[in-house]
A and B are shown apart, each in its own frame.
Chain A
Amino acid sequence: MNGERRVAVTGTATVRARTIRDDADPPSGTRPAERPAAEPSGSDQPDPDPLHTGSPVPDPRQGEPPDTSRSMAVGAAAATALIRLQLGIALRTCAIVIAVVAGLPALLALAPGVAHAGVRGVPLFWPVLVFGVQPVWIAVALRQLRRAERAERELTAPAPGRGTAARTPRREPVGRP
Chain B
Amino acid sequence: MTALAVAAALIALVALLGTAGVRSRRSARAAADFQVASRGVTPWWNASAISGEYISAAAFLGSAGLVLAYGADMLWLPIAGTAGYVLLLAFVTAPLRRSGAYSVPDFAEWRLGSRSVRRIVTGCVCFVGWFYLLPQFRGAGVTLRVLTGAPVWTGWAVVVAVALLLAASGGMRGITAVQAVQFWLKLVAVAVPAMVLLTVWNLAGAPDPVGATPPNFERATRVQVRTAAAVTVPAAVTVTVRGRVDGAVRDGERVPLAPGRHTIGAGTDIRFPAGAPVPHAERLPVQDGATWATPFGRAEENGLFRTYSALLGVLLGTMGLPHILMRFYTSADGAAARRTAALVPVLLALFSVFPALYGTLGRLYAPELLMTGDTDATLLMLPQRMLPGPGGALLTGLVTAGAFAAFISTSCGIVVALAGTISQSVRRRNGVTAFRLGVVLALAAPLAVLPRIGPQGAVGLVTMALCVSACSLCPLLVLGIWWRGLTAAGAAAGLLAGGGFAVAAGLARLFSGPSAGWPQDVLAQPAAVVAPAAFAVMIVVSLLTRRRVPRRADRALMKLHLPEGTPVR
Contact = CB atoms under 8 A, between A and B. Distances in A.
A–B contact at 8 Å CB threshold (below): yes
Interface of A: 30, 33-35, 37-38, 47, 50-51, 53-54, 69-76, 79, 82-83, 86-87, 89-90, 93-94, 97, 100-102, 105-106, 108-109, 112, 115-116, 121-123, 125-126, 129-131, 133-135, 137-138, 140-142, 144-145, 148-149, 152, 155-156, 168-169, 171-172, 174-177
A89 B564 CA distance: 20
Contacts of A149: 335, 338
Contacts of A141: 85-86, 89, 341-342, 344-346
Interface string B532-569: 00000000000000000000001001100111011111
Interface in B301-352: 303-304, 307-308, 311, 315, 332-333, 335-336, 338-339, 341-346, 348-349, 352
A135 B30 CA distance: 44
A10 to B, nearest CB: 12
Interface in B286-304: 290, 293-297, 303-304
Nearest to A79: B558
Contact of A79 (B335, B345, B561): B561
Interface stretch (B71-79, B114-122, B438-446, B501-509): B71-79
B82 A83 contact: no
A142 B307 CA distance: 27
A129 B89 CA distance: 22
Nearest to B314: A101
Given A70-B565, A101-B79, A130-B75, A123 B294 contact: yes
B343 A130 contact: no
B42 A105 contact: no
A-B residue pairs, 8 tightest by C-beta = A134-B349, A54-B35, A90-B90, A145-B342, A129-B75, A73-B567, A108-B295, A93-B90
A108 B294 CA distance: 9
15 contacts: A33-B29, A38-B30, A51-B35, A79-B562, A93-B87, A97-B86, A105-B295, A122-B293, A129-B79, A140-B86, A141-B89, A148-B94, A172-B39, A172-B42, A175-B44
A51 B34 CA distance: 9
B208 interface: yes
A96 B418 CA distance: 33
Interface in B336-381: 336, 338-339, 341-346, 348-349, 352-353, 356-357
Nearest to A33: B29
B294 A102 contact: no
B569 A134 contact: no
A172 B565 contact: no
Contacts of A168: 335, 563
A30 B30 CA distance: 13
B31 interface: yes
A101 B307 CA distance: 10
B557 A101 contact: no
B86 A137 contact: yes
Contact of B349 (A38, A93, A125, A135): A135
B80 interface: yes
Contact of B566 (A38, A71, A76, A87): A71
B342 A142 contact: yes
Contacts of B201: none
Given A50-B31, A105-B76, A176 B210 contact: no
B83 interface: yes
Contacts of A97: 83, 86-87, 315
B32 interface: yes
Contacts of B91: 90, 94
Contact of B29 (A34, A116, A142, A175): A34
Contacts of A133: 79, 82
A133 B86 CA distance: 13
A176 B42 contact: yes
A89 B45 contact: no
A155 to B, nearest CB: 8
Interface of B: 29-32, 34-36, 39-40, 42-45, 72, 75-76, 78-80, 82-83, 85-87, 89-91, 94, 208, 210, 290, 293-297, 303-304, 307-308, 311, 315, 332-333, 335-336, 338-339, 341-346, 348-349, 352-353, 356-357, 482, 554, 557-558, 561-563, 565-569
Q: Is the interface of B mostly helix, strand, loop or mixed?
A: helix
A50 B34 contact: yes
A137 to B, nearest CB: 5
Contact of B82 (A69, A70, A137): A137
Contact of B565 (A54, A69, A122): A69
Nearest to A78: B569
Contacts of A112: 294, 296
Contacts of B32: 47, 50, 53
Contacts of B333: 171
A131 B353 contact: yes
Contacts of B76: 105, 129
Contacts of A177: 42
A115 B345 contact: no
A112 B294 CA distance: 9
B94 A144 contact: no
A141 B338 CA distance: 10
Of B34, B82, B333, the most chain A CB neighbours within 10 A belong to: B82
A142 B89 CA distance: 10
A109 B336 contact: no
Nearest to A171: B336
Contacts of B297: 115
B42 A175 contact: yes
B342 A144 contact: yes
B61 to A, nearest CB: 18
A123 B72 contact: yes
B562 A105 contact: no
Contacts of A148: 90, 94, 338
Contacts of A108: 295-296
A70 B567 CA distance: 9
Given A70-B566, A89-B90, A35 B345 contact: no
A122 B550 CA distance: 57
A115 B315 contact: no
A50 B566 CA distance: 28
Nearest to B289: A121
Contacts of B290: 116
Nearest to B482: A87
B298 to A, nearest CB: 12
B44 A53 contact: no
B296 A50 contact: no
A138 B345 contact: yes
Given A130-B353, A137-B83, A94 B90 contact: yes
A145 B349 contact: no
B561 A172 contact: no
